[in-house]
Amino acid sequence: MGKQQNYGIKEIAKRANVSIGTVDRVIHKRKGVSEKTRLKILKIIEELDYQPNVLASRLASKKIYRIGVLVPSASKETDFWNAPINGMKRAAEEIKQYGVEIYYCFFQLHSRDSFLTQIDNLWKKEVHGVILSPLFKEDARQFVADCNKQKLPLVYIDSYLEDQKALSYIGFNLNDSGRQVAQLFDYCLDGKDKILVANISWKIDDFHIEQGFRSYLIDKGSTRPVIKVDIRHTDYAYIKDSLQNLLKDHTDIKGIFVTNSRVNIVAKFMEDIGRKDIFIIGYDMTEENLKYLKNGTIHFLICHKPEFQGYQGIMTLYQYLVLGADVKEMQYMPIDILTNQNYQYYQMSNEL
């Protein structure tokens, strides 16, 4: 019996060289762990004579843990957020038996007022932890500072604030992602072909993606010409006018890198003007992006398992709050490259 008290999930994870979340899935017979890893963990559990008692202790305590989710709602403009929200809901279903409740506070993508309103709604819930997408930077900074003052654990998802620390960040490495795109252009275009980097957003997106893109070219000693455009409106008519003017001024553009999921708007424009000679790379397997990937107008989509980001956000707070586990400060997602040949095999993986 002494061993049962001395050895817990942390020790099992350490000996198996896996995360606590993986051990938890094996113990509670959830999917997402390879057979080899599962058998390895079960062997260690047997060796330590460990008896899982998380559910029993949680039921006995009757304590409720409330997790607040402050992220954009999925919209017609971009359905990217459908994926992480689905991941959160799947995780919530798995852990609801442990007394974990999720409160979703969805704000409108372009509305600062909506963001502030949802912050107020979240505070009313008296949550024990928060998942945040910090799109409105200044307001998000104040919110995170308030969470830190109250010692409220917070997890960033998809993007983060460098000057406001949190329990964890779950998303992609922005710099490395930009470097990967630059490498793809190097493979597919002549070394002197001009590339347009297009940031189509009502806000200033994280510059680290572009920084990574340019750093790859510098490291390679590339003389490739690169121009940058910030398009602050997301309606098609405005973007069309902006791109038409750019192509008139730069007739030698051979590649376009769109730094977010709005790459489908560029693809639509290229089809409308009958241009098939420009190589296009963007982000995220949204419904609209996938349409243009399939027909070859978009050549590559960079994806970072958005559904798993949402799933892991909930599970990170669960592990920290309920299991008392240590969690990684930076949880980077893989940089996946999708083409019209492999997109149909791209699925969320919940195996750690």
User: In CATH, what class is 61-171+305-334?
Assistant: alpha beta
Strand runs labelled E in 247-335: 253-258, 279-283, 300-303, 330-332
pLDDT confidence tier of residue 264, bands split at 50, 70 and 90: very high
| Banded model confidence at residue 104, pLDDT cuts 50, 70, 90 | very high
The CA distance from 331 to 313, in Å, is 10
Taking the C-alpha atoms of residue 237 and residue 5, their distance in angstroms, rounded to an integer, is 65
* Predicted local distance difference test score (pLDDT) of residue 54: 58
- pLDDT score for 174: 92
Q: Which of 296, 325, 336 has the alpha carbon at shortest distance from 20?
A: 325
- Give 2-52's CATH code, choosing from 2.30.30.40, 1.10.260.40, 1.20.1250.30, 1.10.10.10: 1.10.260.40
Helices 287-294, 263-272: crossing angle, 10 deg rounding: 40
Distance CA 152, CA 146 (A): 9
Q: What residue ranges of the chain are covered by domains with CATH 1.10.260.40?
A: 2-52
Q: Where in the chain do CATH 3.40.50.2300 domains reside? A: 61-171+305-334, 174-303
Segment 25-67, tens digit of pLDDT: 888 777 789 999 989 988 888 777 675 665 555 555 668 899 9
Assigned token pair, 219: 């490291």
Q: Given pLDDT bands bounded at 50, 70 and 90, which one contains residue 180?
A: very high
Per-residue confidence at 1, pLDDT binned at 50, 70, 90?
Answer: very low
Instruction: Give the least confident one: 5-14, 141-150, 164-173, 193-202.
Output: 5-14
pTM of the model: 0.81
Band (pLDDT 50/70/90 cuts) for residue 232 is confident
pLDDT range class, residue 205, cuts 50, 70, 90: low
Give domain 174-303's CATH number out of 1.10.150.20, 3.40.50.2300, 3.40.50.1240, 3.90.180.10: 3.40.50.2300
Given this model, what pLDDT does residue 59 score? 55
Mean predicted confidence (pLDDT) in 71-86: 87
Pick the more confident residue, 9 or 333. 333
Tokens (6 digits) for 166: 């949190």
Question: pLDDT tens digit string along 126-141?
Answer: 999 999 999 899 999 9
Percent of residues, the chain, with pLDDT higher than 70? 91
Residue 206 pLDDT class (50, 70, 90 cuts): low
